Structure 1
Amino acid sequence: MKQKVTAVFDIGKTNKKFFLFDKKYKEVYREYARFDEITDEDGYPTENLPELQKWLKELFHRILDSEEYNVKAINFSTYGASFVHLDENGELLTPLYNYTKPMDEDLIASFYEKYGPEEEFTKNTGSPNSGMLNSGMQLYWIKHTKPEIYKKIKFSLHLPQYMSYLFTDIALSEYTSIGCHTGLWDYEKKDYHEWVYKEGINTKLPQIVSTETSINMNYNGKRIKIGVGIHDSSAALLPYVRSSKKKFVLVSTGTWSVSLNPFTQTNLTKDEILSGCLNYMRINGKAVKAARLLLGSEYKSQAHKLTEIYGVPQENHKTVAFDYDLYTKLLENFSYCFKWNVIENKKAPEETILKHKTFEEAYHQLMMELVLIQVENIKIATGEDPEIKRLFVDGGFSDNDIFIKLLSHHFRGMKLRSTNSSLGSALGAAIAISDSKLNSKFLKTNYSLKKHVPFIIT
């Protein structure tokens, strides 16, 4: 008998992943692909959408014809800030513009002259001025610089919803994509911001449905439940929201370390905006306060530099365990030693000053300084909510012994748990279209949940 499964396409900027999950959300199959980028009309790198479409369809049809699996549902998780613009025949009108593509500063200035001031706009939309990273600005840019193309747009779909559209031919919008620093959503009004209506951009955006919506349809002769897609950061958060009964902050670490507070009740404050906070959105339309930090990027360059200075193998940093004696020695006359490459920190010196005798000592110094910045980042996300007593850490730094022990030390009044799941957003996408409930043991069973106790101070 064929095994009943849920299929998920998890589309990252670099890796394109496909998973099959059983009814208990255990992974039973995975497949990866990577595509060389193409360029848009300006020569700027962008997603190879035709190749991606081809891969999606060919892989899914192969799985449908498999003798092993009976696909009952499919959903899609992708990166955000990316629109696909379709004409009345459902054909692509433009490349998938890269959210790192520079935008004309005069055009941005004209936008805030009309719909600002900038601080007020950011506060209402949870979207700091970030050019193309505000996907709503992509539509504004097309309207005012490519009017002939803009007139032909029937629907503009965020990437997760376009993935779904390829299988259903039904154009829809959903909350998590609308709410991820797009500049489109007014969190106070719980509706599109007034600029969207004044510019008429709402006419290009399909009907909004719940992220948990699925379409039951006959696909290639099989009855399949097809989800509407979900923004990857919101998908990664979903298993925690569904399985934890108490308030928490999730620190998702990697190139970016993002501290996510899904229990925020207020709009971003001026200080939070100046600290780089923005909003994501839960599947129910509620705001998620997110404080970002380029932790992994900074760590990678600094750790590489230390291995060269101390003449140790490149992989050494991965195996350094926390040394309490080294920590207390460095703490006695603590001073900041590292000049950061990508992190902004006023306490950092103008040049890196290393007086440490060993690689291990210098590495402890590096981690102490990075954790202090991470602590501030978490506090910004937590805010003044006294009910947040739990801290989850996932991603690359969840295996870093020094990082976890120091974080546990700085948040002694909170319960710190680390999790290990490379499935992250894919699992969240599967859960989003499932009717089953998650219990409190879900993270322990599926995410290798580990408890951490602060070290004893002597």
Structure 2
Amino acid sequence: MAQEVIAVFDIGKTNKKFFLFDMDFREVHRDYTYLETIEDEDGHPTENLKALESWVQRTFQDILKAKDYKIKAVNFSSYGASFVHLDDMGKVVTPLYNYTKPINAAIIDKFYAQYGPEIQFCRETGTTREGMLNSGIQLYWLKHEKPDVFSKIKHSLHLTQYLSYLFTGIPVSEYTSIGCHTALWNYEKQDYHDWVYQEEIHKILPSIVDTGTSINSKLFGHQIKIGVGIHDSSAALLPYIRSIDKKFLLLSTGTWSIALNPFSKQLLTDEDTDSNCINYMRINGAPVKAARLFLGHEYNLKIKELEKHFNVGDNYHQSVMFDPNIYQKLKDNFLHRFDWSSLEVTKPKSVAAMDFNSYEEAYHQLMIELMELQIDSIKRAIGKEHIKQLYVDGGFANNQIFVELLAKGLNHMEIKTTDASLGSALGAAIAISNVELDQKFLEKNYALKKHSPLITN
């Protein structure tokens, strides 16, 4: 008898993944591919949308032919800040412009001059000024810089909703894609920002539906529930929201370290936006306060410097364990010794010489200084909320010194690490199933571990 499953396409910038989950959300099948980028009309690298479409459709048809599985539903998660523009015949009008694509600064200056002041606009929309990463700016850019192209657009779909459209032919918008630093949404008004209406951009944005919406479709003789998709960051957060009955903060670590507070009742302040805070959105349209730190990137830069200075191998840092004696020595005689290369933070008044007795000592110093910044970022995300639980996922969840210093610096909080390698895909499966979870779900699926500091003084 065929096993009932939920299918999920999880589309990242690098890898494109396909998962099947059983009805208890256990992974039973996966497939993935890597697609070479192509160039847009200006020579900037971008997603090969035709290749992506072909892979999605071929992969789904192949799994439908398999007799081992009965697909009950399919949903989608993907990176955000990306639009697919369709004409009135449903054909794609432009390349899938990369959110890293530079555009003329004059058009961005014009936008903020027209709809600012900038800091007020950023506060209202939960964004910082980031060019095409604010995907609403892409629509403004197309209208004013490529009017002939813009005039052909009937619908502009966020990438995640375009994936759903491939299966249903129904254009929709949903909250989590609208809310991911697009500069489209006014969090104070809980509606599109005034500029969207003044520029008549709203006319090409499909109707907004709830993220849990599904459309019953018959595909190749199979009755299947098709989801409308979910932004990957919001998808990764959803399993925690559904399974934890208390307020919590999620620290998602990697190249970026992002502290996510899904319980913030306060709108962003000017100081928040100056401190690299933005908003994401929950599936019900509520804001998620996010404090961002380019921690993993800076960490990698400094590790390379230490490797060169101490003449050690590329992966030596992974073997360094927390040493309470080194920690205490550094704390008793603390001086800032690292000058940051990529972190947009207030620099210390003075930086002492890098005179360390060993790599281990230098590494502890690096982690202590990075943790200062991380804790400040976490406190910024928490704001005025009373939150006592902190969950850590991503690469630094496996870094013993990082977790130890975090537990020490936030000893009033309960620190738990998780292995959320399936995070966004699993969140998409949960979104379409609309089930309630409990904390045992995290224990079973996320290798949940509780941490207490080894040092208490």
Which TM bucket (shorter chain)? over 0.9
Q: Displacement of 1:351 after TM fit?
A: 7.3
Q: Indicate if the aligned counterparts of 2:408 and 2:456 stay in contact, CA closer than 8 A.
A: no
Q: Could you list the runs of 5+ residues in structure 1 that have no partner in the other structure?
A: none
Question: What SS does the corresponding residue of 1:188 show, helix, strand or coil?
Answer: coil
TM-score, length basis structure 1? 0.98
8 Å CA contact retained: 2:356, 2:362: yes
Q: Which residue of 2 aligns with 1:125?
A: 125
| Contact 1:174–1:228 (8 Å) recurs in 2 | yes
| Contact 1:172 1:208 (C-alpha < 8 Å) held by counterparts | yes
Name the amino acid aligned to 1:58.
Answer: R
CA distance in 1, matches of 2:12, 2:350: 36
Residues 71-124 of structure 1, C-alpha deviations (whole Å, 9 max, x = no match)? 111110000000000001111100011111112111111112221111111111
Question: Cα–Cα, structure 1 residues 15 and 351, in superposed 2: closer, same or farther, change >3 Å?
Answer: farther
* Alignment correspondent of 2:148: 148
Q: Assess if the C-alpha contact under 8 Å between 1:339 and 1:349 holds in 2.
A: no
In 2, distance between residues paired with 1:292 and 1:84? 27
Counterpart for residue 450 of structure 2: 451
Q: For residues 8-27 of structure 1, what are the structure 2 equivalents within 5 Å?
A: 8-27=8-27
**Corresponding residue of 2:421:** 422
Aligned to 2:172: 172
Matches within 5 A, 1:258-297: 258-297=258-297
Find the aligned partners of 1:304 and 1:77 in 2 and give their Cα distance.
34
Letter in 1 for 2:269: T
The two structures, once aligned, show a CA RMSD in angstroms of: 1.2
In structure 1, what is the Cα distance between the partners aligned to 2:103 and 2:77? Answer: 26
**Cα distance in structure 1, aligned partners of 2:60 and 2:241:** 29
CA distance in structure 2 between the partners assigned to 1:125 and 1:191 by the alignment: 10
Quick one: which amino acid aligns to residue 454 of structure 1?
A: P
User: CA offset at residue 452 of structure 1?
Assistant: 0.5
Between the aligned partners of 1:415 and 1:95, the Cα distance in structure 2 is 46
Aligned partners of 2:389 and 2:415 also within 8 Å:
yes
What per-residue deviation string (whole Å, max 9, x for no partner) do you get for residues 205-235 of structure 1?
0010000001111011101111001000000
Q: Deviations over 1:290-346 (max 9, x none)?
A: 111111111112112212221222111112111111100111111111122211333
Structure 2 residues without counterparts, runs of 5 or longer: none
Correspondence for 1:64: 64
CA deviation profile, 1:432-457 (whole Å, cap 9, x unmatched)? 00032111211111100000012233
**Cross-structure match for 2:74:** 74
Q: Which amino acid aligns with 1:105?
A: A
TM norm structure 2 = 0.98
Could you tell me which amino acid in structure 2 is paired with residue 354 of structure 1? Answer: M
Residue identity in the other structure for 1:252: S
SS of equivalent to 2:411: coil
Conserved 8 A contact 1:337-1:348:
no
Distance 2:185 2:401 in 1: 39
Structure 1 residue 287: Cα displacement: 0.4
Aligned residues: 457
Label 1:350 to 1:14 Cα distance change in 2 as closer, same or farther (>3 A).
farther
| Residue 397 (structure 1) aligns with | 396
Q: Write the letter of the residue equivalent to 2:396.
A: F
Structure 1 CA distance, aligned partners of 2:26 and 2:15?
21
Equivalent position of 1:410 in the other structure? 409
Q: Distance in 2 between the 1:422 and 1:389 partners?
A: 24
Cα 1:384–1:454, aligned 2, differ >3 Å: closer, same or farther? same
Alignment of 1:94-133 (within 5 A): 94-133=94-133
Would the alpha carbon gap of residues 112 and 346 (structure 1) be closer, same or farther in structure 2, given more than 3 Å must change? closer
Does the C-alpha gap of structure 1 residues 90 and 352 become closer, same or farther in structure 2, counting only changes over 3 Å?
Answer: farther
**Partner secondary structure for residue 75 of structure 2:** strand
Distance, in Å, in 2 between the alignment partners of 1:82 and 1:289 is: 21
Aligned residue number for residue 382 of structure 1 = 382
Aligned to 1:124, the other structure's residue is in SS state helix
For 2:84 and 2:350, locate their aligned partners in 1 and report how far apart those are by CA, in whole Å: 44
Provide the C-alpha distance between the structure 2 equivalents of 1:40 and 1:456, rounded to a whole number of angstroms: 54
Q: Secondary structure at the match of 2:437?
A: coil
Give, in whole Å, the separation in 1 of the partners of 2:448 and 2:269.
33
Q: Which residue of 2 aligns with 1:362?
A: 362
Q: Give the match for residue 185 of structure 2.
A: 185
Q: Does 1:210 align with 2:206?
A: no
Taking a change above 3 Å as real, the CA distance of residues 318 and 352 of structure 1, as seen in their structure-2 partners, is farther
- The amino acid of 2:405's aligned partner reads L
Q: Would the aligned equivalents of 2:324 and 2:455 in 1 still touch at CA under 8 Å?
A: no
Match status 1:304 vs 2:291: no
Kindly indicate whether the alpha-carbon contact (under 8 Å) linking 1:5 and 1:22 is maintained by their aligned counterparts in 2.
Answer: yes
Q: How many Å apart are 1:352 and its aligned residue?
A: 8.0
Aligned residue runs from structure 1 range 83-94, under 5 A: 83-94=83-94
AA aligned to 1:414 is M
Contact residue 338 and residue 349 of structure 1 kept, 8 A:
no
> In structure 2, what residue type is equivalent to 1:410?
G
Instruction: State the alpha-carbon separation in 1 of the partners of residues 134 and 256 from structure 2.
Output: 18
CA contact (8 A) 2:174 2:211 kept: yes
2:337 is the alignment partner of 1:337: yes
Report the residue type matching 2:415 in the other structure. Answer: L
Which residue is 2:45 aligned to?
45
Distance, in Å, in 1 between the alignment partners of 2:21 and 2:456 is 44
Q: Note the 1:220-231 alignment, pairs <5 A.
A: 220-231=220-231
What is the alpha-carbon distance in structure 1 between the residues aligned to residue 415 and residue 339 of structure 2?
Answer: 29
Give 1:135's aligned residue: 135
